[in-house]
Chains A and B, each alone.
Chain A
Amino acid sequence: MSPRALVLRAPGTNCDEETVVAWERAGASVQVGHIGRLLADPKMLDGFQTLTIPGGFSYGDDLGAGRIFASRLGTALSDALGRFRDRGGLVLGICNGFQVLVRAGLLPGGTHAGAVTLARNLSGKFEARWVKLRPLGSKTPFLADDEPIELPVAHGEGRFLTGDPSATEALDRAGQIVLKYVDDQNHPTSEYPSNPNGSSMAAAGVCDATGRVFGLMPHPERFVDPFHHPRWTRRGPRAEGDGLRIFRNAVKSLS
C-alpha cells in the first residue's frame, strides 16, 4: 500500500502543487491540508505517515521567514508533530518549510544546538540559481546514497547559522548536516555562488537526531521531470530529476 502523505498549506504557501506532484510520482497517496484544519483537529495527523511543509512565503514572511507559521504551529502542534515523528512519521520541510521547522524548534531538535536560525543570504538578496549538493551519511531516510545531486534554490534567507559556531560543528559531527553545497570537485564549499547563501559548514539540509525530520533550502520538487534541469538541451535529459530521489527514498523507507 502506498504511504499517505500530508502536504500542509498556510496562507502564502506556494509550492504545494508541485510538492504534491513529486510525492505522487514517488508513489505516495497525497492530501493537501490547510493549517486551520490541522489546528482544529491535530488528530488528523494520525492518518498519515509523512508530513511536508512546502516552500513559499508563509504569512508573507514579513517577520522573518517561517516565523509566523512556526508560531501558529505553536506548542500544542509541536508536541503533536513530535509524537508523529516518534511513532515513525517522516517530516519534510522544504525552503520555507525548513525555516518553519527551525523556528518551531523541530530542527535541528534538542537543546544542545542553542539558538539556530536561517539568516539572510550573505549576498543580501533573494536569489534563484541551481546548486550542486552532496548527501552525507545516511542518517535520514530521505537521503539514501552520497551521489551528488543538482537542485535549484530560491530564497533570501537560507544561511544556516547557530548562535555558537561550535554548535554547527557538533551537529556536523553528529551527522545531522546531511546535505551540503559542493563545488565542481564535489567538496563542501563556502564559496559564492556554489554556496549560495554563506551557510556555515556548507549546510543545505539538516535532520534531527532521529533522522526522521529533515529540512533543506533547495527545492527537490522542482527537479522531478528531466526537463526541469537548466542544461538539458546541452546534455540530453536524464531518466528523471534528481529531486525525485528524495521523495522516492522516503516512500521506500515507509513502504
Chain B
Amino acid sequence: MLWHLHIVPAPGQEDLDGHRLATEATELGLPGPWTISASRGFLIEDNSEGISSKDWFERLRSLAAEVLVDPVTEQFDLSPCLPRPRPTADPRLLRADLVLQLQRQFPDARSFEIDVNEEAGTARILADDVAIDPVEFDRWTVRSYLALIPPSVSRPWESVHVMPKPGVTDPVAESALSLLHALGLDVAGVRTIRSYHVVGPREALPDLIRRVLSNDAVEHAVVGELVLDHLGQGKPYRFERIDVPILALQDDELVRVSKEGQLALSLDEMKTIQAHFAEVGRDPTDCELETIAQTWSEHCSHKTLRGLIDFDGEIIDNLLKQTIFKATKDLNLDWLVSVFEDNAGVVRFDENVDVCFKVETHNHPSAIDPYGGSNTGLGGVIRDVLGTGLAGKPIANTDVFCVAPPDTAPTDLPPGVLHPRRVLEGVVAGVRDYGNRMGIPTVNGALAVDPKYLANPLVFCGTVGVIPRGMSSKHVEPGDRIVALGGRTGRDGIHGATFSSLDLSADSEEVSGGSVQIGNAITEKMVLDVLIQARDRGLYRSLTDCGAGGFSSAVGEMGATSGAEVDLEKAPLKYEGLSYTEIWISEAQERMVLAVPPEKWPELKALCDSEDVEATDLGRFTDTGLLTLRYQGNLVAELSMDFLHEGRPKVTRKASYTPREPQTINLPRQGYDYSADLLKVLGHWDVASKEWIIRQYDHEVQGRTVIKPLVGEHEDGPGDAVVIQPVRGSNVGLSISCGINPRYGEHDPYAMAMLCVDEAIRNAVAVGADPDRIALLDNFCWGNPERPETLGSLVMAARGCHDAAIAYRTPFISGKDSLYNEYDHEGRKLAIPPTLLISAIGRVPDVRKCVTMDLKEPGNLLYVLGGASNQFGGSVWAEVTGRKAGKIWADPHRAVSHRAVYRALHSLMQRGLIRSCHDVSEGGPAAALAEMAMAGGLGVEVDLIYFGAENGSAAAHDASRLFGEGSGRFVLEIRPSDVSEVTSRLFEVSCDPGSDGVTRTVYTHFDKIGRVRTDGEAQFTIVRSDPPLVIQWPKPGDGHPVIPLIDLPLSTLKAAWQRPLHPAHVPG
C-alpha cells in the first residue's frame, strides 16, 4: 500500500518555492496571473498487500515528524493514495487539519469556526465570522485535502503532483529509504513527490506544467487526485540471449538495424562488423553489437578528428595528432608527466605532487534535462580525475555554459526545446548541487550567450586534481580482479555515448529519455574517500571511471591489450529487470572499475565495507585477447579486443574552408558620446556580472582558494583567474582560467583559437602565474562534421591551437571534442557557432605576489599594455551597436612577442610593482577599465590622447581605443613611485630565439592613459585632449580642447553591469 506524506510550510512560513515559480511563469510569458503554493513530500510504500496496520501508520507518522519534516518550518499530512474516501476519520484530527489548511489559505484571518458534518461529507466554515461556502471534504484523500479551498472564495485552482519517472535516480528518496530502514520501519520503497496548488488560467496549465513545474524527460506530472497503489520500480528479468541476424543483410537493412537499435553506426562500419562476424562464423549478440557501437562512437573514439580528412584536396591523417598533440610533442617540456594518455592530463607541480586537469562536455543530456545534465557532467569529470593515474584527489572545479539569451521570447522556441532561462538556471543548480556536496570548490567559469545555442546549449565541466608523484601511471595484470566500486547499476543513460553522435530533434527526448542521468554526489564523495585510502595502501593496480558506455567502455579500455571476463549478473542493481546488455552499457553514475590483485581484494572489500561503499567482484582480466561476457553462466558476448579497438574502418570526411570576406565597419563620427555604448557593452550577457552564478557555488571549501573568483572592495569584481593552493602550507599556487569566444569563431576560426589561447594565458598571467608554466586543455564543440564547411572551420581552429601552443610555449595536455551539436526539426536546422573552450592551469611561484584586478588606491597611474586595436569582428561593441562587419586576426609572430611581454610583466609582479592588472577582452579597454573601477569602488580620470597614436601611423579611431578587441593587452595600475622602473622594464623586451637562432627585441606599447581619481568622486570619465597640431607633445589637461568620450557615475555602470543576471529572488 502506498502513502503520501505531504509536507507544507507551517503557518507564517513563506512559501519561497511557490513565489519563485509564479514569478518564473510570468517571466516565461505564460498568461497569468499565477498563484502557486508549493509543497514537497514522499510516496512511501509498505510491504502489506491491503491496508497497513495502525501500528505501522503510527510509527511512520512519528518517524516522519522526527526525521522527514522540519520541526519549525513545516507541517505534514499522511494519507493513503486511494481513490475512494474512507469513512472513519477522527473528527479531532480532521479539525486540526482543516484549521491548518485554512490558515495557509487565509493567513489574515484570526479565527475559524468549523462545523463538520461527517455523514454528509461537508463542513461549514466561518473565517472571522464570515461564512465560507460549504465544501466536500474527505479526511483520507489528497484531493479533498486540497479541495478544502472553496471554489467560490478563490479563483479556479488545480493541484499538480510531480514525481520522478520510474527508473530515474532519486537520491533524496534513497536517503529516506535507508534512514527509515535504519530506524526499523519496514518500507518497500520511497519516491519523492512535489505538489503544487495552482491558481491561474486553466487553459495555460499544461504549458505551466511543461515549462515551469516539471520536466517531461525525467518527471511525470499528475493533475488532480493522486491515485497510485505501488511505485513500480521494475519487474523481474527473464534471461533470453538475443542474437542479431546481420550476416545475410543487404546494405539498406544494415542501415536499418543501426538506426532502429540507436547504434549510430554508419553503413561502412556495419559492413565491417558483418564481415568480421562472417569470419567468426556466427551472428553477433545484441550485447556485442552494443559494445562495438559504444566503443566506435564519436564520443568514445573521436573518429572524425582521428580519421582522414580531405581538406580542400590536402589529406590530413588524424587532425589531432597533426596539430594539438604535435605542438605538445614538439615543445618537449620536462614538466609534463602524462599527456593525452589518461582520463586527464598530468603535469608536475612541485617535488612531491603532480596536478591533473580535465574538462568535459555534457551538451545533449543538458539540453533535455539541464539539472541532471550538468549535475552528472560535473560528476563525470570528477570521476575522470579520480580515474587518472592511480587516482587524483579533486581540488577545484570549473564550469562554462553556452546558452541562448535568457530573455528570448518564449514564442521563439522550436518544438521540444526548453527555454534558455530554464536551461541556465538548471545547469547552474546542477553544478552547484554536485560540486558543493562533493566538497570541491567550483572556482572558475564563463558564460557565452548566442541565439544559436537555443536548441543545443553547451555545458563544460572541469576538475583539477592532485596526485602524489610517481602515482601517475598504472597497468593491468592478467588475473587481476575486475571490481566495480560505488553506485548501483540502473537504466540510467542507456545510449548516452551513441546519442551524442546524433543530432538533437524535437523527439530527442522520446528517443533518448533513458539517456538522462541523475547524479548522487554523496555516493561519489564516499567513493572518493575510499579510493584515496585504497590508493595510498596500494590495494589496486589500475582504475578508470565508468563514463559514456558504462562497464562496456571501462572494462573494454582497461582490458584492451589483455582480455577480460565478466559475469554480468554479479553487478548490483538499483532495481530488478535489467537485461544483460542494459547492465553492460548502463551509464549509471558514481561507478569506478578497479583492477585488483586477488590477494588485495579482501582488504579492499573490508575498507569499502567500513565506509558503506559497495564493492563487487565482477570477473577478472585475462590474457586471452577476448572480451568474454556471461550472464548466469550463459555466454552473451565473446569479442576480439583487437577487433573492438582496432577494427573500426577509418572515417574519411571532406573539409573545406573559405575565409570570410572582411567588410569595413562604419565607425561613429568625431564627437560621438560613447557613454550609452559602454553601458550596453557592460550589460551584454558575456560581460555582465556572474555573481548570481558564482555565489551559489562554494568556491572556498577545502580552504585553498587564495584569489577568489569575485574580488575587490565589495567582493563583486570579475577576477581574471582564481589561484588555489594545491599543497597546504606551501606558497606555490595554481591559477585556473579560461578563454572562449564563439563570436570570433564565426569570423575566423583560426584567429579565434589563437585569441582564446591568448586570453586563457593572459588571465593566468594577470593574477601572477608564470608564463613558462601554463598548460592548456582544448574542448571543441562543433556542428555536424559531415558538412565540409563545418569540418573545415574545425581544421582551421585546430591549426590555430597548434600555432598558439608553439608560440606561447604552452602545451596542450588533454582535450575533448563534441560534434553534431545541431538541432533538426522538420527541415529547420540550427547549428551552434564553432565553439572552442581553452582552459588553463598555471603555476604561481608565490601566492603572496598575486595581483587582483580591482583598483587599489587614489592617485595611482593607469596604463594600457599592448596598444590600441581596431579589431571589431565579433566584438561585443559591434554586436551591441548592431554592427555586423569588422575583422579579427592573430598570428604566431604577434603571439611570440606577446609571450615576451607576459614574461616581463610576470617579473614585475614578482617584485611587487604592479598594483592591479586586468586583461582586456570582451568590450575592449573601456570595459576592462570600467570593471577595475567598479571592483575597486574608485573613480578614474582618463585621457586617451597618447593611446593608440603610435608609429607615425594615423591615430586610432576613438571607438578602437575604447572598444577594440584582440590579443595581448592589459590595463595596469601602478604607483607613481614605481612608474619609472616599470616603464624601463617594459620599454623593450626580448623574445625567445627564433628558428634562425636570432633573439628579437620587441618595443612594447605601454601607454599612460590616466589615473585613479584623488577627489573621491565615484565618477568614470574618459576624454581625449585634442590640441592643435602645432603643439609638440601636449600634456593632458594643459587646457587644450577636450573631446568627452564617456562620463558616468560608477553606480550607473554597476547597475548596467549587474542587471542582466541580477538575482531576482534575493530578498529586499
Contact = CB atoms under 8 A, between A and B. Distances in A.
Interface of A: 11-15, 17-18, 21, 34, 36, 55-57, 59-64, 67-68, 71-72, 115-117, 119-120, 122-130, 152, 154, 161-163, 191-193, 198, 219, 221-222, 224-225, 227-228, 230-231, 233-234, 237
A71 B67 CA distance: 8
B728 A192 contact: no
Contacts of B856: 233-234
Interface string B499-543: 000000000000000000000111001100100000000000000
Contacts of A116: 71-72
Nearest to B179: A68
B611 A11 contact: yes
B954 interface: no
24 contacts: A11-B522, A11-B612, A15-B439, A15-B702, A18-B702, A34-B610, A55-B701, A56-B439, A57-B437, A60-B437, A60-B520, A63-B67, A117-B70, A123-B1065, A125-B1065, A126-B432, A128-B700, A161-B72, A227-B706, A227-B847, A230-B715, A231-B712, A233-B852, A234-B936
B33 interface: no
Interface stretch (B169-177, B788-796, B808-816, B824-832): B169-177
Contact of B703 (A64, A119, A228, A230): A228
B1026 interface: no
B339 interface: no
B708 interface: yes
Given A60-B521, A62-B171, A163 B72 contact: yes
B73 A60 contact: no
Contacts, number: 173
B522 A227 contact: no
A130 B711 CA distance: 12
A117 B728 CA distance: 35
B850 interface: yes
Contacts of A225: 703, 706
Interface string B840-876: 0000000110111010100000000000000000000
A192 B1066 contact: yes
Contacts of A36: 610-612
A192 B72 contact: no
Nearest to B183: A71
A60 to B, nearest CB: 4
Given A117-B72, A222-B703, 9 more contacts: A60-B520, A62-B172, A124-B20, A154-B701, A162-B72, A163-B71, A192-B1068, A193-B1066, A234-B713
Nearest to A72: B182
Given A123-B1067, A125-B696, A63 B175 contact: yes
Interface of B: 13-14, 16-17, 20, 66-68, 70-73, 171-172, 174-176, 179, 182-183, 432, 436-439, 520-522, 525-526, 529, 610-612, 694-703, 705-708, 710-713, 715, 728, 847-848, 850-852, 854, 856, 916, 936, 1063, 1065-1068
A66 to B, nearest CB: 11
Contact of B179 (A71, A193, A234): A71
B854 to A, nearest CB: 7
Nearest to A237: B848
A234 B854 CA distance: 8
Contacts of B847: 227
Contacts of A67: 67
Given A123-B1065, A125-B1065, A12 B437 contact: yes
Contacts of A18: 702-703
B708 A230 contact: yes
Contact of A228 (B525, B610, B700): B700
A129 B708 CA distance: 11
A198 to B, nearest CB: 7
Nearest to A219: B700
Contacts of B715: 129-130, 230-231
Contact of B526 (A11, A72, A193, A233): A11
A63 B1065 CA distance: 24
A224 B704 CA distance: 11
Contacts of A192: 1066-1068
A123 B691 CA distance: 14
B111 to A, nearest CB: 20
A61 to B, nearest CB: 8
Contacts of B432: 126
A36 B698 CA distance: 27
A117 B171 contact: no
A146 B710 CA distance: 29
Contacts of A120: 16, 73
Contact of A230 (B171, B176, B179, B711): B711
Contacts of B529: 11
A230 B171 CA distance: 34
Contacts of A15: 439, 701-703
Closest 9 A/B residue pairs (Cβ): A14-B439, A18-B703, A60-B522, A62-B175, A62-B172, A115-B71, A117-B72, A124-B16, A154-B698
Contacts of A55: 701
A156 to B, nearest CB: 8
A198 B73 CA distance: 14
B611 A129 contact: no
Q: Which of B20, B179, B697, B850 has the most CB of A within 10 A?
A: B179
Contacts of A34: 610-611
Given A15-B701, A192-B1067, A119 B73 contact: yes
A60 B170 CA distance: 12
A137 to B, nearest CB: 25
B611 A14 contact: no
Contacts of B916: 233
A123 B1062 CA distance: 13
B697 to A, nearest CB: 6
A129 to B, nearest CB: 6
A233 B711 contact: yes
Contacts of A234: 712-713, 852, 854, 856, 936
A133 to B, nearest CB: 16
A55 B847 CA distance: 26
Contacts of A122: 14, 16, 1067
B429 to A, nearest CB: 9
A17 B528 CA distance: 14
